[in-house]
Amino acid sequence: MLKNWQKRVTIGKHILREDPACKTLFEAMFMYPMVSALLSHNRAHQLYKSGHNTLARWISQRNRKKTGIEIHPGAVIGDNLFIDHGMGVVIGETAIIGDNVTIFHGVTLGGTGKEKDCKRHPTVGNNCILGAGSTMLGPIIIGDNAKVGAGAVVIHDVPEGATAVGVSARNIIRDKNGERISVE
């Protein structure tokens, strides 16, 4: 029980740092759906890795109904994930999310088919921002420090440091000064 409390405090402190709308630690710990979603995912993920798939799915689906955030218990999530608002976020079974990632509402990390026993969902690198309503599909890689614009549909890899925008998204490559180098 103490371990969950400590995790709640840690997540709350991260929210307080990341969200300018959050005014108190109490607000962060008890009024942000991502706290419950991440705590439930931690429990479900441990059960999933131990082969208790049905119980793990039950926990994840119960939390989805409670928070509007659906995280499959098989998904791997790094440190300091920040899910802003959260409603409508879907993270698939084989998705991998790096450290210090920000996900806005309505984001989907989904698959493209019905294959089994293979990587079907995106891998998101460290320090990425996934804009509201964006959709990333298939076993693609979103590179470190990349951004995906709101409403973008991404079906190809996004290079490190690039910004993906549009439907279907194009990669805009910028130099260190922020100047556009190319569009792929």
Residue 165 and residue 131 share a domain: yes
- Band of residue 3 on the pLDDT scale cut at 50, 70, 90: confident
- Biggest alpha carbon distance in the chain? 52
Residue 134 and residue 108 share a domain: yes
**What DSSP state is assigned to residue 53?**
H
Q: What whole-number distance in Å separates Cα of residue 129 and Cα of residue 136?
A: 12
15-72, pLDDT tens digit by residue?
Answer: 999 999 999 999 999 999 999 999 999 999 999 999 999 999 999 999 999 999 999 9
138 φψ region: left (φ > 0), alpha (ψ -120 to 50), beta (else): left
Q: What whole-number distance in Å separates Cα of residue 107 and Cα of residue 158?
A: 16
Residue 163 and residue 85 share a domain: yes
CATH number where 85 lies: 2.160.10.10
Query: What is the pLDDT of the chain when averaged over all its residues?
Result: 93
- Band of residue 1 on the pLDDT scale cut at 50, 70, 90: low
Residue 20 and residue 84 share a domain: no
Q: What angle do CA 93, 52, 70 make, to 5 degrees?
A: 35
Residue 99 and residue 12 share a domain: no
Residue 113 and residue 57 share a domain: no
Q: Which domain holds residue 62?
A: 1-69
Give the 3-state secondary structure of residue 79.
Answer: coil
The gap from C-alpha 72 to its chain's centroid, in whole angstroms, comes to 11
Structural domains counted in the chain: 2
37 φψ region: left (φ > 0), alpha (ψ -120 to 50), beta (else): alpha
Choosing from 10, 40, 69, the residue where a domain stops is 69
Predicted TM-score (pTM) of the model is 0.88
Checking 128-131 for CB contacts under 8 A at 24+ apart, the result is 128/98, 128/101, 128/102, 129/101, 129/102, 129/104, 130/101, 130/102, 130/103, 130/104, 131/104, 131/107
